[in-house]
Amino acid sequence: MRKMTVRVLTTVIAALAACMLVILFLVMNVNTVARQYESNIRSAMQSQQLAAAICENIYQTESQVWQHIVNEEEEEYGIYEERIDGLLASMSTLLANLQDSLTDEEDKVLSHEVIRQYIGFKSSVQVVLELSRQGSKQSAQYYVQNELNPYFDTANELLDAVNVKTTENSRLAEQQMEASIYKARLEAILCMVVVGLIIIVCVFLVFRNGKRIVGQQEEEKRNHEQRVMALQYNIIVAMANLIESRDEDTGEHVKRTSWYVDTIARELAKDSPYKEQLTESYLDNLWKAAPLHDIGKIKVSDTILCKPGKLTPEEFETMKTHAAEGGKIVYETMHDIEEQDYVELAHDVAKYHHEKWNGSGYPEGLSGQDIPLCARIMAVADVFDALTSKRCYKEAMSVEEAYKIIEESSGTHFDPVVAEAFIRLRPKVEEFLRENRE
């Protein structure tokens, strides 16, 4: 009996030691893969941030080039050229950093192509500036449309490809992490078969540890997705602010209208004929899409956009094109990198926010509920902020006057249900304005 006890104890100790060694091996293996996963995620995030920064530089460069073309003051040419040189130098540094951050050969091929497009883009910019300097404005504009923009579009497509590739690398790293955990579980089961009851306890401990690791991995994945979503939203807001900063508003219009849209939509979601449509996902997408409502203004020249007086009929027709252009830009730039529901909603906000309930709006003259709900909400927010804000062509109107116009335009310009909800929100709107204008 004693010998059996000794043997059992010896077996138990040996099994426990074997189990501990196996657990130690599993933990070390999982930790190694986890570190590799973290490194891959960090590298992917860095590449995406650099790509985002390069995209923003490209937009800023094109904006400065257009301002150089429309400029008529000789002394201001140097200012625009200095800004453009700074942006191009910054872009060169960002491209170098992007190339250094990529390790995969396929990624490096993409980065080389991005750099090649940048060289062509830079050369084209210099040609446009020279034409603009010489007073050949139409030639400069033609060159931008036919020579500069293709480089611009191709570079953006390549940067999108880099983003897609780095996202794929992150997904592969995640799969490797999951495969490692799966392998660890199999090895734990094998130990259980070999050492019996003790191994069951060890497997339980390993399994519990494995669940903890899976939980950490899922938490990291959620955090990563949140960071990516935050980065994408910041890029969207940066694009919108870049466009808005061409006038005196310096981006505050984007902040205010986003708040109005979100507040109106959540009020409607409480109790209105539209509450079934206004799901949490819809509300989230609408809030993120609101900054893009005037993205089409990038296609409108500063001469018209910043004109201090009333627009001529021809100028107003040009200004009206920003709605249709905005919808087109959303589709062209986001259809491959964002969820389809968000893209559709952002497109409708950009294209239809100037439609009117009675059908007298633009670009398609839609009426009533044929106008997408998101655009009807955006219309109220956009008009109210335009009325209560100082613009280059008018002074700001009082909240009292603006609300009177919203109320009078209910059923003609605005959806009556949306206008009524906004009128109910007046105390909250006034509090928001006080907090943000003090």
pLDDT band at 230 (very low <50, low <70, confident <90, very high): very low
pLDDT band at 54 (very low <50, low <70, confident <90, very high): confident
Higher pLDDT, 367 or 180: 367
- Judgement on whether residues 228 and 100 belong to the same structural domain of the protein: yes
What value does the mean pLDDT take over residues 8-15? 66
Of the candidates 423, 428, 425, 418, the one whose C-alpha atom is nearest the C-alpha of residue 274 is 418
In this prediction, residue 132 carries a pLDDT of 79
pLDDT band at 229 (very low <50, low <70, confident <90, very high): very low
Gap between the Cα atoms of 411 and 368, Å rounded:
9
Final residue of a domain: which of 187, 213, 244?
244
Residues 311-345 have pLDDT tens digits of 899 999 999 999 999 999 988 887 776 688 999 99
In this prediction, residue 46 carries a pLDDT of 74
Final residue of a domain: which of 223, 244, 265?
244
**Positive or negative: CA dihedral 390, 391, 392, 397:** negative
pTM: 0.49
**How confident is the prediction for the chain on average, in pLDDT?**
78
Structural domain for 5, as ranges = 1-244
Residues 254-267 have pLDDT tens digits of 889 999 999 999 99
CATH code for the domain of 377: 1.10.3210.10
The radius of gyration of the chain from alpha carbons, rounded to an integer in Å, stands at 29
In this prediction, residue 4 carries a pLDDT of 47
Q: Whole-angstrom distance between the N-terminal and C-terminal Cα of the chain? A: 88
In this prediction, residue 65 carries a pLDDT of 78
Q: Residue 253: CB partners within 8 Å, gap ≥ 6?
A: 244, 294, 385, 389
Share of the chain above pLDDT 70, in %: 68
- Judgement on whether residues 128 and 10 belong to the same structural domain of the protein: yes
Structure tokens at 312: 């001529």
Burial of 362 (0-12, 13-18, 19+ CB in 10 A): middle
- Judgement on whether residues 270 and 367 belong to the same structural domain of the protein: yes
Q: What does the chain come to in residues? A: 438
- Judgement on whether residues 214 and 357 belong to the same structural domain of the protein: no
pLDDT of residue 26 exceeding 60: yes
- Judgement on whether residues 233 and 266 belong to the same structural domain of the protein: no
- Judgement on whether residues 232 and 114 belong to the same structural domain of the protein: yes
- Judgement on whether residues 194 and 306 belong to the same structural domain of the protein: no
Residue pair 20/206 in contact (Cβ under 8 Å)? The answer is no
- Judgement on whether residues 210 and 298 belong to the same structural domain of the protein: no
Final residue of a domain: which of 196, 227, 244?
244
- Judgement on whether residues 39 and 64 belong to the same structural domain of the protein: yes
Higher pLDDT, 81 or 264: 264
Helices vs. strands in the chain: H and E counts, helices first? 15, 0
**Positive or negative: CA dihedral 295, 285, 157, 230:** positive
**Positive or negative: CA dihedral 322, 324, 327, 329:** negative
Number of domains in the chain: 2
- Judgement on whether residues 54 and 125 belong to the same structural domain of the protein: yes
Residues 138-160 have pLDDT tens digits of 887 887 777 777 766 776 676 67
H helical segments located in 353-412:
373-388, 399-408
- Judgement on whether residues 333 and 201 belong to the same structural domain of the protein: no
- Judgement on whether residues 151 and 270 belong to the same structural domain of the protein: no
Higher pLDDT, 370 or 163: 370
Residue pair 129/137 in contact (Cβ under 8 Å)? The answer is no
Distance of CA 15 to the CA centre of its chain: 54
